[in-house]
Amino acid sequence: MKFFSLILILSSSLFFSQKKIGLDSLYTNDVQELLGDDYGSIYLYKNKDLSFTKYDSLGTQLGKLMLTFPYKIQSVNNPLNIVMFSENAQEIKFIDQNLNEIQKINLSAIFGFIKAVYAEDLQYAWMIDDSNKTLIQYNFRSTSTISSFPFNINLQSLKDFLVYNNRIYILRENTFEVYNTKATLLYTSLISNARKLRRINNDILIFGDQTVHQFDGKNLSEIFKNESAKLVDKNNAGFLALIKDKLYLYNLKD
């Protein structure tokens, strides 16, 4: 198993079958974020015009949302309830599978300046309050704070964060870090061109422009790489890669 993992890391493209997804290259111009849900739908976010668009695997547009502020899309794992956070607007939006707004939370009316948000389920969200240097667990259904911890760490170049099992995972542009709720650094590793985090079961996935790494709680390993890619993502079918304005799905070969 260790030998197979090593070979996978060194030459992953040899073990994947490639399938082109029928998105016109025009749609993929100026894309800042690529996401794929587990039902085969593709989502593209463009910061240039603040648009968030959903397509099926044949390239048919299923919905489009025009935003007034830049937003960070947490994930589309649950396409019935997609979470978006705007640092500029200090608000969280929840949208459904048709990209219609379900709920909006104005954070500035409740907290200081929220630097990052991680919604762990349909009831609770974790937030880093930069002005008060605190980590907050908030029940947005009952509009109540569940817990709050002092969290005075440097948030410069913060790209993303999530919380799982009393561990806080911080992603900076070139660093991945793990803290406990006392803000003690437990693990750190260099990682290039980092973009976002995602939890799948007990593992934390770290997405870069061209790579996907996996952290199992102890070790960090590269599970996908394509040096030609502009953006990569993952769904239950495999790894998605945007290459020269064309989108491909890489499945592990049987």
Domain ranges of the chain: 31-106, 107-152, 155-249
pLDDT band at 10 (very low <50, low <70, confident <90, very high): very low
Instruction: For residue 197, give both structure tokens.
Output: 């985090």
Mean pLDDT over the full length of the chain: 91
Q: Which CATH class is domain 155-249?
A: mainly beta
Q: What is the pLDDT of residues 114-137, one digit of tens each?
A: 999 999 888 999 999 999 999 999
For 44-75, the pLDDT digits (tens) are 999 999 999 999 988 899 999 999 999 999 99
* Per-residue pLDDT, 2: 43
pLDDT score, position 16:
67
Whether residue 15 is predicted with pLDDT greater than 70 in this model: the reply is no
Q: With contact defined as beta carbons under 8 Å apart, do 208 and 194 qualify?
A: yes
Res. 4 pLDDT band, cuts 50 70 90 = very low
Residue 93's pLDDT band (boundaries 50, 70, 90)? Answer: very high
Res 234: pLDDT: 95
Give the pLDDT score at 242: 96
DSSP line for 100-131: -EEEEEESTTTSS-EEEEEE-SSSEEEEEETT
pLDDT of residue 231: 96
Nearest to 53 by CA among 27, 88, 85, 91: 27
Classified as helix, coil or strand, 98 is coil
**pLDDT surpassing 50 at residue 109:** yes
Q: pTM of this prediction?
A: 0.90
pLDDT digits (tens, 9 = 90+) for 205-242: 999 999 999 999 999 999 999 999 999 999 999 999 99
- Give backbone dihedrals phi and psi of 183, rounded to 5 degrees, phi first: 65, 25
Summarize the confidence of residues 95-102 as an average pLDDT: 96
What architecture (CATH level 2) is domain 31-106? Beta Barrel (2.40)
The predicted structure's pLDDT at residue 13: 47
For residue 153, what are its two tokens? 């760490």
Q: Is the pLDDT of residue 12 over 80?
A: no
Q: Do residues 84 and 72 touch, judged by C-beta distance below 8 A?
A: yes
pLDDT for the residue 77: 87
What token pair was written down for 60?
A: 């048919």
- The reply to whether 31-106 and 155-249 are identical in fold is yes
Cα separation, 197 vs 220, in Å, equals 13
Q: Are 89 and 76 in contact (CB under 8 A)?
A: no
Neighbours of 207 (CB within 10 A): 27
Confidence band (pLDDT; 50, 70, 90) for 17? confident
